[in-house]
Structure 1
Amino acid sequence: MSLVKFRNNLPFSGVAIEPGTPLWQIVPTHGEDGRPLADFMMLIPGLRSRPQHAINTTLNNLQKALEQYSEVVFVNLNLKINVLWVSVNCRPGIILDLVTSIQSLVPEALLVAQKPD
């Protein structure tokens, strides 16, 4: 099961979205204005092994968190690997704002990031 969202006005080159399609084939890299998009990944440990009602609650909470931001362009939730991918139009602080919003509603969600040197 995966949740995929596209902003309708983004150009998309006709790739059919099917289960197991690699993200590099479907994630948009540039917004409608031609500027590069920013993206981030979050891990939601154990999500796929929860009861269906708990998964639905998490999906609803993710939707609540993400729909508050017009900058969100693409969302993919891969339940097979418990990973949420989000692509956004760039603005200072947007990723921190989104991660904070997601974690307020889905506290177990972890940002995947590089360890600072």
Structure 2
Amino acid sequence: MSSISLQRQQHPIPGQPLWQRVPTRDESGRALPDFMMLIPKIGSWPEIRREQAINELRSVFARFEQRVVFADLNLKLNLLWITLRPTPDGCLSLVEAITAVVPEAKLVASQYEAMLGWSEGGSRRSRVRCGWFGQHVLGRPGKP
């Protein structure tokens, strides 16, 4: 099995693509935010270690069951996808709880990155776009 549902109430249909399973709106029609975390090589971890990590993730999602709407771990892609109800702190507390139990988990993309600000370095394209303003006002590296 390459994809594992990490919540009790979910019953995935084998072979159904993620984009068809992920909820995008809540009961009242509001958009639901989501984010991804990469867990490098979890698919090739020893069975005992992998099951331990999966159980730890399930316990985290049980603690956040009022917020987490959908959680899926794709072992083939080493990717954890989470959809949650919007809250003022975004996904910060959930990301911290996940990395506390599975330190290998790395945030891939979300509003969380925007909340933390632009990381040092960044891509060449973003450095060039920032130019003088980014270098002198924001204290970010300028053109290479």
- Structure 1: 5+ residue stretches without partners: 9-15
Structure (1/2) with the larger helix percentage: 2
Measure how far apart 1:63 and its partner are. Answer: 0.8
Which structure has more relative contact order (CA 8 Å, sep 6+)? It is: 1
Q: Given the two structures, how large is their TM-score scaled by the length of structure 2?
A: 0.69
Measure how far apart 1:33 and its partner are. Answer: 2.0
- For 2:45 and 2:8, locate their aligned partners in 1 and report how far apart those are by CA, in whole Å: 29
Q: Is the Cα contact below 8 Å between 1:7 and 1:74 reproduced in 2? A: no
- For 2:89 and 2:77, locate their aligned partners in 1 and report how far apart those are by CA, in whole Å: 27
Amino acid at match of 1:25: Q
Q: How many residues align?
A: 109
Matched, 1:111 2:111: no
CA RMSD of aligned residues (A): 2.0
The 4+ residue runs of structure 1 with deviation greater than 3 A are: 5-8, 114-117
Amino acid at match of 1:56: E
Structure (1/2) with the larger strand percentage: 1
Alignment partner of 1:111: what SS? strand
Amino acid at match of 1:105: V
Measure how far apart 1:34 and its partner are. Answer: 1.5
- Please identify the structure whose Cα radius of gyration is greater: 2
Alignment partner of 2:80: what SS? strand
- For 1:51 and 1:39, locate their aligned partners in 2 and report how far apart those are by CA, in whole Å: 29
Partner of 1:50: 45
Partner of 2:71: 75
Amino acid at match of 1:4: S
Q: Given the two structures, how large is their TM-score scaled by the length of structure 1?
A: 0.83
Partner of 1:91: 87
Residue identity (%):
44
Measure how far apart 1:18 and its partner are. Answer: 1.4
